[in-house]
């Protein structure tokens, strides 16, 4: 099996429709993207791989998100308070609509977290969310989350890709998460033919104007590496992904192609709080302080 890195390649000039003079943003244009794999589902609470996330991350949004500097910032929650170690009060962004037209409220936030906790959902993050004792709607735009015990990374959990907020009214009126979507994100699910082509279309009512700039993203299912390369070099597609090493040098020599390389692996260190020395909170805090976050962001 050929070794792959997460390599994104694009035809130079693909952003011309959305960039004006001196890099000024301009709306319009269609991005054509060749997929290595098909998405295996549309449910934002069930992570079935990076390809699915390519879609759900554009369709749905979480309460919090990460800035370009790697710090947490407001998403669908405009602000939050942590009055004690087990209580979080989140204030929900107003004037946000789901793609169905339904307004975003605190009820949707409660429904989403309750859905993650429901064993029948088989949500990817259900274990991490099991620290939640209750979710209460304080008013139409305020939610109170009570934890069973203090959980230091809880805010990061609320920003994760599997903690997206879904449309309660849409879901309860027959919405099928396996086939359809109703999020608040910059793009809406467009027409698709499973195993062949998929599309995301601009959400003209997106709360964070002037985004998105693109009118549409068209995805083609192209599992054969050589076919994806040919499509890219002949400008039949603008971008593709996961390129085998044998093609990299050829693409880097092509003046019309730009190659972006990033590692698709990550390392995790888990500390067992039931065994010394990590049963001491001070030792765990010391490890937390040792992390050079700036260097991680700069890599």
Q: Do domains 6-36+186-262 and 64-173 have the same CATH topology?
A: no
At a CB cut-off of 8 Å and minimum separation 6, what does 296 contact? 70
Note the pLDDT tens digit of each residue in 210-230: 999 999 999 999 999 999 989
Section 193-203 average pLDDT: 94
DSSP string, the chain: ---B-EEEEEETTTTGGGB-GGG-B----EEEEEESS------TTS---HHHHHHHHHH---SEEE-TTS-EEESSEEEEEEEETTEEEEEEPSS-B-TTSPBP-HHHHHHHHHHHH-GGG--TTHHHHTTEEEEEEEETTEEEEEESS--TTHHHHHTSTT-----HHHHHTT--TTT-----SSEEE---BTTTEEEEEE-TT-SSTT----SEEEEEE---HHHHHHHHHTTS-SEE---BHHHHHHHHH-TTEEEEEE----------TTSTTTTSHHHHHHHHHH--HHHHHH-
Q: Pick one of 3.30.428.10, 3.90.550.10, 3.90.76.10, 3.40.50.2300 as the CATH number of 64-173.
A: 3.90.76.10
pLDDT of residue 10: 63
Note the pLDDT tens digit of each residue in 238-270: 999 888 888 888 888 988 888 887 655 667 788
Query: Which of 103-107, 257-261, 294-298 has maximum average pLDDT?
Result: 103-107
pLDDT of residue 22: 46
What is the residue-averaged pLDDT of the chain? Answer: 89
Q: Where are the domains of the chain?
A: 6-36+186-262, 64-173
pLDDT of residue 283: 93
pLDDT of residue 108: 99
Q: How many CB atoms lie within 10 A of CB 50?
A: 16
The band of 299, judged by pLDDT with boundaries at 50, 70 and 90, is low
| Omega prior to 277 cis, within 30 of 0 | yes
Q: Which residue has the higher pLDDT, 55 or 270?
A: 55
Note the pLDDT tens digit of each residue in 168-191: 999 999 999 999 999 999 999 999
pTM of the model: 0.83
Q: Which residue has the higher pLDDT, 9 or 135?
A: 135
How far is 248 from 265, CA to CA, in rounded Å? 19
The band of 8, judged by pLDDT with boundaries at 50, 70 and 90, is low
Section 64-84 average pLDDT: 95
CA atoms within 13 Å, Cβ hemisphere of 39:
25
Section 105-118 average pLDDT: 99
CATH for 6-36+186-262? 3.40.190.10
């Amino acid at each position: 099996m050929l070794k792959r890195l997460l390599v994104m390649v694009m035809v130079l000039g693909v952003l011309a429709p959305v960039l004006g003079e001196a890099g000024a943003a301009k709306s319009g244009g269609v991005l054509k993207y060749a997929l290595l794999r098909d998405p295996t589902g549309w449910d934002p609470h069930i992570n079935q791989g990076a390809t699915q996330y390519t879609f759900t991350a554009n369709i749905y949004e979480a309460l919090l998100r990460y800035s370009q500097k790697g710090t947490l910032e407001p998403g669908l929650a405009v602000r939050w308070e942590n009055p004690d170690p087990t209580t979080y009060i989140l204030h929900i962004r107003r004037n946000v609509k789901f793609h169905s037209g339904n307004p975003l409220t605190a009820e949707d936030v409660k429904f989403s977290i309750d859905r993650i906790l429901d064993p029948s959902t088989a949500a990817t993050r259900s274990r991490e969310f099991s620290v939640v004792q209750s979710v209460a709607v304080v008013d139409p735009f305020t939610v109170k989350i009570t934890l069973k015990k203090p959980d230091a990374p809880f805010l990061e959990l609320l920003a994760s890709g599997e903690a997206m907020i879904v449309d309660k009214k849409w879901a309860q009126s027959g919405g099928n998460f396996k086939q359809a979507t109703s999020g608040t994100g910059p793009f809406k699910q467009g027409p698709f033919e499973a195993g062949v082509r998929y599309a995301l279309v601009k959400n003209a009512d997106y709360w964070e104007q002037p985004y998105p700039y693109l009118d549409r993203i068209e995805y083609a299912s192209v599992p054969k590496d050589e076919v994806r390369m040919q499509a890219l070099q002949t400008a039949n597609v603008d971008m593709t992904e996961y390129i085998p090493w044998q093609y990299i040098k050829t693409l880097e020599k092509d003046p019309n192609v730009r190659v972006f390389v990033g590692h698709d692996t990550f390392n995790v260190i888990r500390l067992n709080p039931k065994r010394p020395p990590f049963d001491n909170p001070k030792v765990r805090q010391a490890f937390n302080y040792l992390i050079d976050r700036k260097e991680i962001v700069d890599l």
